[in-house]
Amino acid sequence: DVKVTQSSRYLVKRTGEKVFLECVQDMDHENMFWYRQDPGLGLRLIYFSYDVKMKEKGDIPEGYSVSREKKERFSLILESASTNQTSMYLCASSLGTGGPYGYTFGSGTRLTVV
C-alpha cells in the first residue's frame, strides 16, 4: 500500500514563528500536494509539485512556501505563522496527473497558531 506520512499529528505554534510541515511518500509518486481543510470550505489546494524542485501555486498560496528537494519529500513552510493559518493540513501524492490516478492522503497535521 502507498503510504503518505506527515511528521506531526498535532502542532501548536506562536504567531510569527516559522513552521515546517513535512510529508514523505514511499511509492515513487511524481506528484505531491498540500491542502488545508476548514469547516464549510472543504479542501483547498495550497501548492503542488509534479517533479523534484518544481512547484506550482494552488488556490490559496499566500503566506506559504514549499520545498521539494527529493522526490519522496514535500515540505510546506509557513514563513510567519498567523492565527488564520490554524487549520488541518493534508498532504497527498499521486502517481500521475488527472482524476483516474486519484490521490493518496496522509493522516493530516492539526496546526494551531496562538
Partner 1 sequence: DQQVKQNSPSLSVQEGRISILNCDYTNSMFDYFLWYKKYPAEGPTFLISISSIKDKNEDGRFTVFLNKSAKHLSLHIVPSQPGDSAVYFCAASAFGGNKLVFGAGTILRVKS
- Does residue 102 interact with partner 1 by CB under 8 A? yes
Look at residues 28, 19, 21, 40 and name the one whose alpha carbon lies nearest to residue 91: 21
Q: Is 39 exposed, middle or buried (0-12, 13-18, 19+ CB in 10 A)?
A: exposed
Q: Rule CB under 8 A: which of 19-58 touch partner 1?
A: 31, 33, 35, 40-45, 48, 50, 58
Binding residues for partner 1, total number by CB under 8 A: 28
- Does residue 65 interact with partner 1 by CB under 8 A? no
- Does residue 9 interact with partner 1 by CB under 8 A? yes
- Does residue 13 interact with partner 1 by CB under 8 A? no
Look at residues 78, 114, 110, 99 and name the one whose alpha carbon lies nearest to residue 10: 110
Residues 103 and 69: their CA atoms lie apart, in Å, by 21
Residue placing its CB nearer to partner 1 in the complex, 27 or 41: 41
Residue 75 near residue 20 (C-beta atoms within 8 A)? yes
3-state secondary structure of 84: helix
Binding span for partner 1 by CB under 8 A among 12-20, 64-72, 79-87, 94-102: 94-102
Residues that bind partner 1 (CB under 8 A): 4, 9, 31, 33, 35, 40-45, 48, 50, 58, 90, 92, 97-100, 102-108, 110
